[in-house]
């Protein structure tokens, strides 16, 4: 939360399943487009918040299955758990707020009387969330009866129906919208309210996000019936809410453009000859470079000596490259290895995911960069943490130092660069 010294230029608060993540696209095209846009243009001065119905267990599982970048803040279990940063430090203040007028035992006692309710997996039962499945045609009646019973028993609860199947019972003060409002209040108290906030969702539990005052909202094209219905009944005249014509993360990118919230061309959408940005931000340089390497290995770039010569010009004569295995090389060797691997991934589902690009200026013309680099081959992945030093000569960066270290136990694999 304190990573940024000034207010975030843009805070994106996005649901995951069927919003950021398209489960109908095995190639994850829109997710890669978004990730690359975010790391190139937003990571340095903006905040990414994931807001999911999933418990921490299922959230971590999704992260393993899909090429997702790391959010600054993670809101899980339908706005009942908030954590910060990569290490996911919990917000205890929020737990305290949610404990008001909440009694899980009464909820469990009363819900067992409803045969229409099927309990979800144990991992999805959380301190401030009790979850069931219920058929569409029963959902309204069950919700109404439950609300009455809980009111009689003196509880302040919220019942949310999502995806035409999931029924969540939460404290009244919980939900994705309340969690977002709580965060905004915290930022305000720190003197750093985001300049713009964009909420993104597709299903019933996301409606809450669109009720937070001042935020822009996008319902992706594939939004569920219950969310569209909520919108028709409650927010159809609100010009700050867009029903995108594009699916999932592409709908988010569309909304960034529609509301004029900042750059909305992902480097993945830009033809290579236009990708030579003059005066790029250091993070943008990292993203573009890795995108070129990906295309080079996929043989999606033309094989030209000019490309290699261009890279050679970017490497500093005394530069060093430390491979994750620990071996040290002249940085020029890195370029000559690259020459050899042209097209080695051709026709394969190979992608490079650059995550968490953070740049610190350490001299008048020198930057220290750290980021995580993942190579995906379909669902298989291997990754390393990269630390590098870039130096700016007039309009271009040159690479002074690159040091890669394994992430997880991926060390034995054939990591080339
Ligand atoms: C996720 C959660 C589930 C919840 C649903 C809707 O799928 O795993 O427990 O009911 O989101 O909020
Ligand atoms: Mg969803």
Counting Cβ atoms within 10 Å, is residue 413 exposed (0-12), middle (13-18) or buried (19+)?
A: middle
Rounded to an integer, what distance in angstroms lies between the CA atom of residue 387 and that of residue 317?
A: 18
What pLDDT does 123 receive? 97
Tokens 């959010």 — which residue?
71
Fold (topology level) of 10-88+175-267 = Rossmann fold (3.40.50)
Task: Calculate the dihedral angle through the C-alpha atoms of 298, 299, 300, 304, rounding to the nearest 10 degrees.
Answer: 140
- Is residue 407 within 8 Å of 355, Cβ to Cβ? no
Determine which residue's CA is closest to atom 9 belonging to ligand 1: 124
Rounded to an integer, what distance in angstroms lies between the CA atom of residue 187 and that of residue 129?
A: 26
Give the mutation target among 166, 204, 207 for probing the ligand 1 site: most ligand atoms within 8 A of CB: 166
Return the closest-CA partner of residue 80 out of 65, 64, 91, 66.
91
Q: What is the distance in A from the centroid of ligand 2 to the CA of 79?
A: 13
Cβ(201) to ligand 1 under 6 A?
no
Rounded to an integer, what distance in angstroms lies between the CA atom of residue 294 and that of residue 288?
A: 10
Work out the angle at residue 248's Cα, subtended by the Cα atoms of residues 86 and 68, and round it to the nearest 5 degrees.
25
List the shell of residues around ion ligand 2, using CB closer than 5 Å.
15, 17-18, 202-203
Q: What is the pTM of this model?
A: 0.95
Cα-based distances in Å from 360 to 44, 228, 401, 408: 10, 43, 15, 25
355: tokens are 């995550």
Cβ(162) to ligand 1 under 6 A?
yes
Return the closest-CA partner of residue 131 out of 157, 151, 99, 97.
157
Cα-based distances in Å from 189 to 45, 186, 282: 19, 5, 31
Return the closest-CA partner of residue 216 out of 2, 355, 12.
12
What pLDDT does 101 receive? 82
Show Cβ contacts of residue 121 under 8 Å, excluding neighbours closer than 6 positions: none
What pLDDT does 411 receive? 47
Cβ(120) to ligand 1 under 6 A?
yes
Q: What is the distance in A from the centroid of ligand 1 to the CA of 414?
A: 38
Give the mutation target among 50, 162, 167, 170 for probing the ligand 1 site: most ligand atoms within 8 A of CB: 162
Ligand 1 atom nearest to 124, measured from its CA:
9
Q: What parts of the chain have a pLDDT lower than 70? A: 1, 273, 275-277, 409-413
Q: What is the distance in A from the centroid of ligand 1 to the CA of 116?
A: 17
- Is residue 298 within 8 Å of 350, Cβ to Cβ? yes
Show Cβ contacts of residue 347 under 8 Å, excluding neighbours closer than 6 positions: none
Ligand 1 atom nearest to 167, measured from its CA:
10
Cβ(77) to ligand 1 under 6 A?
no
Domain 101-171: top CATH class? alpha beta
- Is residue 357 within 8 Å of 286, Cβ to Cβ? yes
Ligand closest to the CA atom of residue 161: 1
> What are the φ/ψ torsions at residue 182 (nearest 5 degrees)?
-60, -45
Give me the residue spans of the domains in the chain: 10-88+175-267, 101-171, 270-406
Ligand closest to the CA atom of residue 165: 1
Rounded to an integer, what distance in angstroms lies between the CA atom of residue 206 and that of residue 53?
A: 9
Cβ(80) to ligand 1 under 6 A?
no
Expressed in angstroms, the distance from the first to the final Cα of the chain is 33
Ligand 1 atom nearest to 168, measured from its CA:
10
Q: What is the distance in A from the centroid of ligand 1 to the CA of 272?
A: 41
Q: Is 141 helix (H, G, I), strand (E, B) or coil?
A: helix
- Is residue 374 within 8 Å of 357, Cβ to Cβ? no
Q: What is the distance in A from the centroid of ligand 1 to the CA of 54?
A: 5
What pLDDT does 335 receive? 87
- Is residue 174 within 8 Å of 197, Cβ to Cβ? no
Fold (topology level) of 270-406 = Nuclear Transport Factor 2; Chain: A, (3.10.450)
Determine which residue's CA is closest to atom 5 belonging to ligand 1: 53
Strands of 328-330's sheet in order across:
328-330, 315-322, 396-406, 380-393, 366-377, 350-363
Determine which residue's CA is closest to atom 12 belonging to ligand 1: 53
Ligand closest to the CA atom of residue 58: 1
């Amino acid at each position: 939360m304190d990573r940024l010294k000034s207010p975030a230029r843009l805070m994106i608060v996005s649901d995951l399943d069927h919003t950021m993540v398209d489960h109908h696209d095995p190639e994850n095209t829109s997710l890669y487009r978004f990730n690359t846009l975010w790391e190139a243009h937003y990571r340095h001065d903006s905040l990414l918040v994931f807001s999911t119905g999933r418990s921490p267990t299922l959230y971590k599982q999704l992260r393993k299955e899909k090429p997702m970048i790391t959010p600054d803040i993670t809101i899980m279990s339908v706005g009942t758990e908030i954590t910060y940063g990569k290490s996911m430090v919990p917000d205890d203040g929020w737990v305290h707020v949610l404990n008001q007028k909440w009694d899980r035992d009464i909820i469990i006692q009363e819900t067992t009387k409803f045969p229409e309710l099927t309990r979800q997996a144990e991992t999805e039962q959380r301190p401030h969330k009790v979850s069931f499945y219920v058929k569409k045609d029963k959902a309204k009646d069950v919700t109404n009866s439950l609300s009455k019973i809980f009111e009689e028993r003196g509880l302040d609860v919220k019942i949310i129906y999502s995806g035409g199947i999931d029924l969540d019972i939460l404290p009244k003060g919980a939900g994705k919208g309340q969690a977002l409002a709580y965060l905004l209040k915290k930022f305000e108290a720190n003197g750093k309210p985001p300049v713009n906030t964009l909420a993104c969702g597709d299903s019933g539990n996301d409606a809450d996000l669109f009720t937070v005052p001042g935020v822009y909202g996008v319902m992706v094209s594939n939004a569920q019936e219950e969310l569209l219905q909520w919108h028709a009944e409650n927010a159809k005249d609100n010009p700050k809410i867009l029903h995108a014509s594009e699916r999932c993360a592409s709908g988010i990118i569309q909304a960034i453009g529609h509301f004029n919230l900042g750059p909305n061309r992902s480097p993945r959408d830009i033809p290579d000859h236009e990708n030579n940005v003059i005066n790029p931000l250091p993070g943008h340089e990292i993203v573009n470079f890795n995108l070129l390497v990906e295309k080079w290995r996929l043989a999606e770039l033309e094989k030209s000596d000019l490309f290699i010569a261009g890279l050679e010009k970017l490497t500093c004569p005394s530069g060093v490259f430390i491979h994750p295995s620990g071996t040290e090389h002249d940085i020029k060797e890195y370029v000559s290895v690259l020459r050899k691997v042209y097209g080695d991934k051709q026709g394969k589902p190979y992608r490079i995911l650059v995550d968490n690009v953070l740049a610190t200026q350490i001299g008048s013309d020198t930057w220290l960069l750290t980021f995580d680099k993942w190579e995906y081959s379909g669902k298989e992945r291997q990754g390393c943490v990269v630390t590098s030093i870039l130096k700016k000569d007039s309009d271009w960066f040159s690479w002074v130092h690159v040091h890669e270290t394994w992430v997880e136990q991926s060390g034995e694999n054939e990591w080339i660069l």
